[in-house]
Amino acid sequence: MSKRWLFFALCVLLCGGTAVWIHSFYKRPLLIVGCARSGTTYTAAVLKAAGWKIQHERVKRDGAVSWELVFDDTQHVPWGSARKGRQFAHIFHQVRDPLRTISTVCHAEGPLQKSWNYILAHIPEISPQDSLLLKSAKYWYYWNLKAEAMSEWTYRLEDFGQVREEFERRVGKRVPREALDRVPRNANASGPHHQFTWEELQQELDPELYENIRHLAEHYGYKL
């Protein structure tokens, strides 16, 4: 056992056996956050193919790719690992085309059902009485605002191949081009579903929220 891990074990004993103090002391290399259905499964698969000890929605030695860890919950999350005070050397924010993300969140209502209570607990702007489209649009907007605020860098899923070198430079770990080639871009695709348009969002949302979503999409580099 290395001296570092001996030191950690001693700290656990001195702290009464709790691992929370260790979580807050030891920084894992990377956390990637964003909305559900924004390609986090794909990114986790690419990093695993590159040899990283990382997983989708579970915290491993090199970190995690998880939409839930936008918030530092100490108890349970709908899927995978809660953050529980864990620290990360770098936090990146991954975004995906808003219309595609919102449409897929609506389509995935069944799998996401157990997630909505978690989302509503953290985003008071979403009401249980909102329509599914309105919930999904608010979720995309407010969750991304939270994710961006806690992150050092925001990049688009669609540009992952182009920003790969910047990704490597920031973390100090390699992501070989071959890792991207080994993972299909449609990893975790949700199947055929209705693709909402900006016109449909405008009809469903109040004008202020609609304009806010459009402005945030432009801020992330999406052409409307």
Residue 205: strand pairing partners:
none
| pLDDT (0 to 100) of residue 147 | 98
Q: Parallel, antiparallel, or unpaired: how do β-strands 153-156 and 27-33 relate?
A: unpaired
| pLDDT (0 to 100) of residue 8 | 52
Sites in the chain below the pLDDT cut of 50: 12-14, 16-24
| pLDDT (0 to 100) of residue 16 | 46
| pLDDT (0 to 100) of residue 191 | 57
Prediction pTM value = 0.85
| pLDDT (0 to 100) of residue 67 | 95
For the chain, give the number of residues: 224
Q: In whole angstroms, what is the distance from residue 29 CA to residue 22 CA?
A: 15
Angle at 164 between CA 161 and CA 165, to 5 degrees: 135
